[in-house]
Structure 1
Amino acid sequence: MIDRIPMSVRGNKKLKEELLRLTRVERLDVVKAIEVAREHGDLKENAEYHAAKERQGMIEARIMDLKDKLGRAEVIDCLQVSCKRVVFGTVVVLLDLDTDEEVTYQLLGPEESEVKAGSISVLSPIGRSMLSKEEGDEVVTKTPGGTREFEVVEIKTGDFA
């Protein structure tokens, strides 16, 4: 069973660029570093060689991870989503009912969410609790810090984050 990964057009492009950089630049650089380290002799006590091999393993693991995520990506154009309800890609203005402060988030996939940049994952507790809500609806979510209550003030399309 293949679980689809929701991803914005921009998030998909970013992952493809990272994959390209890893396969065309970093992979080749680490192979050269391994060759240079081999020339230094005894591999058992060659710290440069072991560091380069470890780096190679991390690069290859990330390449496999990116290929997997891109292969399962369900790319969604955030500028084309409906604003009637909170869905993937929408920008949501929430009113924190405890503090009367407004916060704005864009709902994105787990690979591209970054709270400091204003985006949260649709799979996060608050993201899941916002899905399908309409303007004026109350959102109650359980977080590690306790239960939080919000009101959906506005839902809009856009490439916010």
Structure 2
Amino acid sequence: MPEKSYPMTAEGKEKLEAELKNLKLVKRPEVIERIKVARSYGDLSENSEYDAAKDEQSHLEDRINVVEEMLKYAHVVDANSSDPDEVAVGKTVTYTEVGEDDPETYTIVGSDESDPMNGKISNDSPIAQAILGKKKGQTVTITTPGGKFDVVINKVEE
């Protein structure tokens, strides 16, 4: 069975490391303190503060486990190691939909770094999956839940 791999940019890995540190050193102690305080209120069977704090602790521990897993199997992608005209994780791509005039620009990032509102799309997204490995000047068909469309890759930047 192949080893897991989480492709990400160096910036994305640094953000995950900072998040993990914050979760363990700040958030976890805060939740533990809330549990202690809620426990002091007495009867736990009808203690909504205690239940809420325990739920939060569960979500926090789940996120810590996910982030640790991602960091353990992180694969920091060096955008400079591929052909300068080839679409890869860490690169910014500008394309135009065939028949349209307005170009769209996105940076391909690891799934945890995805922020479409700020032009960062996951390498797992339908758009990225279609254009990864393609080169400047190529026409590519992208299949999304909304349908298929063709784009021309105008520019690939590191």
User: What band does the TM-score fall into relative to the shorter chain?
Assistant: over 0.9
Say yes or no: does 1:155 pair with 2:156: yes
1:35 matched to which residue of 2? Answer: 36
Give the count of matched residue pairs.
157
RMSD: 1.3
Q: What displacement does 1:78 show?
A: 4.0
The TM-score, its normalising length taken from structure 2, stands at 0.94
Does the CA-based 8 Å contact 2:79-2:88 persist in structure 1? Answer: no
Deviations 1:38-71 (A, max 9, x none): 1111010111111111111111010001000111
The TM-score, its normalising length taken from structure 1, stands at 0.92
Q: 1:55 aligns to what SS in structure 2? A: helix
Distance 1:81 1:54 in 2: 45
The more displaced of 57-66 and 107-116 is 107-116
The more displaced of 75-84 and 45-54 is 75-84
Consecutive unaligned residues in structure 1, runs of 5 or more = none
Distance 1:80 1:25 in 2: 37
Greater percentage in helix: 2
1:61 matched to which residue of 2? Answer: 62
**Which amino acid letter does the alignment assign opposite residue 35 of structure 1?**
K
Consecutive unaligned residues in structure 2, runs of 5 or more = none
Does the CA-based 8 Å contact 1:81-1:89 persist in structure 2? Answer: no
Q: What displacement does 1:2 show?
A: 2.2
**Which amino acid letter does the alignment assign opposite residue 40 of structure 1?**
Y
2:145 matched to which residue of 1? Answer: 144
